[in-house]
Amino acid sequence: MSLGKVLNEHFRGLWKSFPCPTDTIDDYDNILWLNEDYPSKEEIQAKIAELEAAEPLRLLRIERDNLLTQTDWEVQRNTEMGIDNTDLINYRIALRNIPQEIELGNMNAPTIDESGNLVFNSWPER
């Protein structure tokens, strides 16, 4: 996670510039703050760690939402034409339940590979 992104998204208005040759927490000492009330290096490191830990689930939700969007038209069409939607509805419910199932420990949590891609092998069968 880049230092610039964390500063822009979570500490906006507290700094005026930061030369960042590495764009990592190592650049903390280069940040020019607007006043004396600014986050410590440890607070920023904690926010970076929090965001990095949440990233796999954030990417999973994006992919899950895309899969739901891809079936929206089918639900609409099937409903209009009186076609049985049971299997499709169950699939969509399973997609919606993935974050809760992960939280409950019923599914393995997603990870991110070295290229930044989502790794998750528990998608429901369509």
How far is Cα 49 from Cα 87, in angstroms, rounded to an integer? 39
Q: Is the pLDDT of residue 18 over 90?
A: no
Q: Is the pLDDT of residue 118 over 90?
A: yes
Q: Is the pLDDT of residue 1 over 90?
A: no
pLDDT at 21: 87
**Structure confidence at residue 20 as a pLDDT band (50, 70, 90):** confident
Helix (H, G, I), strand (E, B) or coil at 119: strand
How far is Cα 101 from Cα 64, in angstroms, rounded to an integer? 13
As to burial, measured by CB atoms within 10 angstroms (0-12 exposed, 13-18 middle, 19+ buried), residue 98 is buried
Domain ranges of the chain: 3-39, 56-119
Across the range 9-38, mean pLDDT stands at 90
Helix (H, G, I), strand (E, B) or coil at 26: helix
Residue-wise pLDDT tens digits, 56-106 = 999 999 999 999 999 999 999 998 999 999 999 999 999 999 999 999 999
Across the range 99-118, mean pLDDT stands at 96
Q: Is the pLDDT of residue 17 over 90?
A: no
Q: What is the mean pLDDT of the chain?
A: 94
pLDDT at 43: 95
- The label of the residue with tokens 């899969």 reads 67
Q: Which residues pair with 15 in a beta bridge?
A: 33
